[in-house]
C-alpha cells in the first residue's frame, strides 16, 4: 500500500501474525489482561471478517479490537512480555486509532467479502 507524504509515495508495510500465532496468544497466560483483551478482540474481528459479518471493525468504523479499549491497546503496546511482532501490531493499531484516519490500509487479497472495508487486517492465513 502507498501513502502520500510530501508529494512522495512511500510504501507502507503492515505488521502481521498468522491465525495460529494469534490463536496461541489467546491461550498465553503470561500476557497481561489488557494484552489478552486486544489479542482476543483481534482474533474475533478477523473471524467476523472471514465469515462476512458486518461489524464496526469489518466496515471500517473502528480499529480498536472488539472487547478492548484504546487504553488496552496502549498498555498492550507497552507490554514487554508480548513478542515484538505483537507489539508492532499493537503500536500500529494505537497510532491509527489516535490519528482518527479510518482510510483502509489493508488491501483485500481475496480472502474476505469485497463489500467489507476494514481499516487494518493484521492477521494472515496459516501457511
With the CA atoms of 35, 109, 118 and 77 taken in that order, what torsion angle do they form, in degrees rounded to the nearest 10?
Answer: 20
d(CA 99, CA 93): 10
Tens of pLDDT, residues 59-105: 999 999 999 999 999 999 999 989 999 999 999 999 999 999 999 99
- Using 50, 70 and 90 to split pLDDT, how confident is the model at 111? confident
Cite the beta strand spans of the chain per DSSP E: 2-5, 8-11, 17-18, 123-124
Whole-model pTM?
0.88
Q: Is 20 helix (H, G, I), strand (E, B) or coil?
A: helix
pLDDT at 12: 61
Of 89 and 5, the structure prediction assigns the larger pLDDT to: 89
Q: Report the 10 Å Cβ neighbour count for 114.
A: 7
- Using 50, 70 and 90 to split pLDDT, how confident is the model at 1? very low
State the average pLDDT for the chain.
Answer: 90
Amino acid at each position: 500500500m502507498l501513502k502520500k507524504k510530501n508529494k512522495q509515495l512511500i510504501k507502507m508495510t503492515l505488521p502481521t501474525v498468522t491465525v495460529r500465532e494469534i490463536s496461541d496468544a489467546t491461550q498465553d497466560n503470561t500476557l497481561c489482561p489488557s494484552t489478552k483483551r486486544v489479542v482476543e478482540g483481534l482474533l474475533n474481528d478477523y473471524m467476523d471478517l472471514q465469515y462476512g459479518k458486518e461489524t464496526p471493525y469489518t466496515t471500517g468504523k473502528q480499529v480498536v479490537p472488539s472487547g478492548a479499549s484504546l487504553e488496552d491497546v496502549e498498555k498492550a503496546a507497552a507490554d514487554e512480555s508480548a513478542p515484538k511482532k505483537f507489539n508492532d501490531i499493537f503500536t500500529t493499531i494505537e497510532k491509527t486509532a489516535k490519528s482518527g484516519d479510518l482510510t483502509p490500509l489493508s488491501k483485500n487479497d481475496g480472502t474476505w467479502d469485497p463489500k467489507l472495508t476494514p481499516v487494518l487486517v493484521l492477521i494472515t492465513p496459516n501457511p
